[in-house]
Amino acid sequence: MISRLTLTTRRLVSRPIRTFSASAADFNDGFPTLRPAVTMFSEEENAVRDMVQSWANTELKPHVRAMDQEGAMRPEILSSLFQNGLMGMEIPAEYGGSEMNFTSACIAVEEIAAVDPSFAILVDIQNTLTNNAVRFWGSQTLKDRWLPRLATDTASSFCLSEAGSGSDAFAMKTTALPSSDGSTYTINGSKLWISNSKEAGVFLLFANAAPDLGYKGITAFMVDASTPGIHVGKKERKLGLRASSTCPLTFEDVVVDKDCVLGEVGKGYKYAIEILNEGRIGIAAQQLGIAKGAFNATMPYLRERKQFGTAIGDFQGMQHQVAQLATEIHAVECMTYNAARMKENGLPFVKEASMAKLYSSQVAEKVASKAIEWYGGVGFTEDIIVEKFYRDCKVGSIYEGTSNIQLQTIAKLIAQEW
């Protein structure tokens, strides 16, 4: 990964796009040592953006409104995501994945969110949570069993929350008790709010294998969705992300083999924290995509719509609002991709990831809300897509850690610095 990034950096800065001159001290072995801006992407990453943008506009966009109204994803679009390599972005090629970097996965999430945030959360959970958890901590057996399927045909869900444990996730009640010889685990309990659970073929499940040990008993499992005893409940009727299924899951005496354990028994809480830290950058990318989607869907209207004999976008009162929000979107873009680069470079990134997630959800909500206002009355109707972005963005301040929880994380890390 580091050598790929180094090469990428060299390619980027050697392009004739610098607007300043470099001195001899800026060169090392013939290569410039100047650093690229965080919004400068590699050729590979730019190619991902172009490809996903084109896919989202041709394959996804025509069906977005209908899927929102039907409250379901069309299976052929889900298949197309797999066919285009978007569900296994960082999975190595030997397992059938696209073998890209984390930034590319975020770019894919952003571009899909700019068209349909429901599909973006599916792609985000698959890439930033499930696939990476298996890559980082899965045994060879789990990697061989699941990575090829996750890359090519099997959607997944991340099953942490329960009715009584949301922000306080490790107060979970679901248990996975080992058999006397330790060869199997029997899972009992219920999960709530599980995204993509109607489509998923596998659940990354967190359950307590030693309740006496409290959170130190929490263990992660890769559970085949067809295992007897699993019941996927009725879809929640939601404000937004309506095409994305969000359901309760019940586990009744579900017996799984010990080789379904992901990583070490009792380390599930640690894996959940670590993977959600990364996942938050993916959510920031989703919120960035929503903000850009709402903004881009509105800008042409500011030129077309005339009042008082002039385009509404020519009023200074409108121009200042546009400038303000464009600035905030740019700030989110910098924060999101800076956090992604920090993660890729092995730097501590938790504070930056939380900041990106917190701020992106605020900006997405503000932009989508303003986009409705800029459209006037018609913006309040289903004729215009911005009302959907407004509904879809709200959950950005709730899932993968609410805004208060992000503030708590940021505050804790600042306190450690002082």
Binding mask 140-159 for ligand FAD (x = CB under 6 A): -----------------xxx
Taking the least distance from each CB to ligand FAD, the nearer of 192 and 329 is 192
Q: Kindly state the smallest distance separating residue 267's Cβ from ligand FAD, in Å.
A: 18
Q: Within a 10 A sphere around the Cβ of 257, how many other Cβ atoms?
A: 11
Q: Is 398 in the site for ligand FAD (CB under 6 A)?
A: yes
- Looking at 83, 190, 321, 402, which residue binds ligand FAD (CB under 6 A)? 402
- Looking at 161, 175, 219, 354, which residue binds ligand FAD (CB under 6 A)? 161
| Residue 111 known to be catalytic | no
Single out the segment in contact with ligand FAD by CB under 6 A; choices: 19-27, 94-102, 192-200, 247-255: 192-200
Taking the least distance from each CB to ligand FAD, the nearer of 137 and 206 is 206
- Looking at 202, 241, 261, 335, which residue binds ligand FAD (CB under 6 A)? 241
Single out the segment in contact with ligand FAD by CB under 6 A; choices: 40-48, 238-246, 282-290, 375-383: 238-246
- Looking at 195, 287, 336, 354, which residue binds ligand FAD (CB under 6 A)? 195
Taking the least distance from each CB to ligand FAD, the nearer of 52 and 194 is 194
Site size toward ligand FAD (CB under 6 A) is 21
**Of 67-106, which residues contact ligand FAD (CB under 6 A)?**
none
Q: Kindly state the smallest distance separating residue 340's Cβ from ligand FAD, in Å.
A: 21
- Looking at 269, 395, 396, 410, which residue binds ligand FAD (CB under 6 A)? 395
Q: Is 404 in the site for ligand FAD (CB under 6 A)?
A: yes
- Looking at 60, 105, 151, 194, which residue binds ligand FAD (CB under 6 A)? 194
Q: Kindly state the smallest distance separating residue 144's Cβ from ligand FAD, in Å.
A: 25
Using CB under 6 A, list all residues that contact ligand FAD. Answer: 157-161, 166-167, 193-195, 238, 241, 246, 395, 398-400, 402, 404-405, 408
